[in-house]
Structure 1
Amino acid sequence: MTRVFRYVPYSRVQDPSAAPEYGARCVSGDDADCDADSGLYSAPEPVEEWQRKHTQETGHLRYRRVFADYAVMEPVGDLPAGLAPARVRRVTA
């Protein structure tokens, strides 16, 4: 039996059906982190505004920012007719 394997290049793209999430947490403090949290938003601007206000109110200057999104793997270019990307099941010995 002969098998032909073809390499299919993929590109990672942001999933347009799911909005990204932005957030920040204050990690300022002498003995322990402040831990104030902005919450999650679908754009960075509300998080930046929260950071600005929190700094004004507390003098805290250090934040841990968070960005999360969903990625989709898409084949690059057109696949030949009738050819689909291979799906591999876990092989155990």
Structure 2
Amino acid sequence: MPFTMTQDTSAEPEYEARCVSGNASDCDADSGTHHTPSPVEEWQRKHTQETGHRRYRRNFGDYTVLEPPPGLEELASVPGRST
């Protein structure tokens, strides 16, 4: 069944970054989780200014909902039915 995938608007997306700079090992400082990218980007700028570190691992997470095609909602909700 050709489902359509959409972002679940009932849950906010999550943004975060972790510093992977350092000499012998990664710094591992992190931005914490935020619901918009702006605080994460600002944290990265500040961390770079304070430490000189310039390499980060950024993560984005959200939730999705799969919607069946119009008119097939009932078929899509039948447990055990193969699609």
Fold shared per TM-score above 0.5: yes
Unaligned runs of 5+ in 2: none
- 1: distance between equivalents of 2:12 and 2:74? 31
Instruction: Give the match for residue 3 of structure 1.
Output: none
- Larger helix proportion, structure 1 or 2? 2
Q: For residue 40 of structure 1, what is the aligned residue in structure 2?
A: 33
Q: Identity rate of aligned residues, in percent? A: 59
In structure 1, the gaps of 5 or more residues are 1-7
RMSD (Å), alpha carbons = 2.0
Letter in 1 for 2:38: E
Which among 54, 68, 71 is matched to residue 64 of structure 2?
71
Q: Which has the larger radius of gyration?
A: 1
Query: Aligned in 2, Cα 1:83/1:21: closer, same or farther, shift over 3 Å?
Result: closer
Q: TM-score, normalised by structure 1?
A: 0.78
Residue of structure 2 equivalent to 1:17? 10
Deviation at 1:11, TM superposition (A): 1.0
TM-score if structure 2 supplies the norm length? 0.87
